[in-house]
Amino acid sequence: MSKVQNGLRYSEEHEWLDVAQSPARVGVSAVAADALGDVVYLDLPEVGTEVTAGATCGEIESTKSVSDLYAPVTGTVVEVNQEAIDNPALVNEDPYGAGWLFTVEVSAEGPLLSAEEYASKNGGEL
């Protein structure tokens, strides 16, 4: 079963948000990474872009499909993970670590789930 990491919060659209770091860090859950299959291409928002909670801010392309990436918060993108862009397999290998996507200066949060809520909703394992 796909791992859901404790201490993070999650959007309905399977992004995770880590506010323990500043600026906050965003990635996709292992549940999403496993469902997507091998990720082959990332289209991430550019540094300085304003993203809006619940709105699309990029795309994740796997061998099988293309999925929208949704911003879990409203704010300004501070940094994108160039290593993940160069090696999208990091999203599958380490979705909560080296496969993070971008950091954001948060101005407002969208509706987010706790790790427990997200896991019980998506059949993940804490």
Partner 1 sequence: MTTGISTEKRTALYDQHAALGASFTDFGGWQMPLKYGSELAEHRAVRETAGLFDLSHMGEVWVTGPDAGALLDYALVGKLSAIAVGKAKYSLICAEDGGIIDDLIVYRVAEDEYLVVPNAGNAPTVAAEFEARRALFIAAGGGEGVTLRDASAETSLIAVQGPNAQDIVLALVPAGQAEAVTELKYYAAVGVEAAGIPVLLARTGYTGEDGFELFVPNERAAELWAAIRAAGEGRELVPCGLASRDSLRLEAGMPLYGNELSREVTPFEAGLGGVVALKSKEGDFVGRAALQAKKDDGAGTTSGQRLVGLRGLGRRAGRSHYPVLKDGQRVGEVTSGQPSPTLGYPVALAYVAVELSEPGTQLDVDLRGKAEPFEVVALPFYKRQK
List contacts with partner 1 (CB under 8 A).
Answer: 34, 37-38, 40-41, 59, 61, 63-66, 92
**Residue with Cβ nearer partner 1 (18 or 34):** 34
Going by the DSSP 8-state scheme, the letter that residue 48 receives in this structure is: T
Q: Minimum CB separation from partner 1 for residue 91, in Å?
A: 12
Q: Minimum CB separation from partner 1 for residue 73, in Å?
A: 24
Q: Minimum CB separation from partner 1 for residue 32, in Å?
A: 14
**Residue with Cβ nearer partner 1 (47 or 66):** 66
3-class state of residue 74 by DSSP = strand
The 10 Å Cβ neighbour count of residue 86 is 9
**Residue with Cβ nearer partner 1 (12 or 61):** 61
- Calculate the alpha carbon distances from 53 to 12, 24, 45, 107, 124 in Å: 11, 13, 13, 10, 23
- Per the CB < 8 A criterion, the answer to whether 20 and 52 are in contact is no
Q: Minimum CB separation from partner 1 for residue 42, in Å?
A: 10
**Residue with Cβ nearer partner 1 (41 or 125):** 41
- Per the CB < 8 A criterion, the answer to whether 36 and 65 are in contact is yes
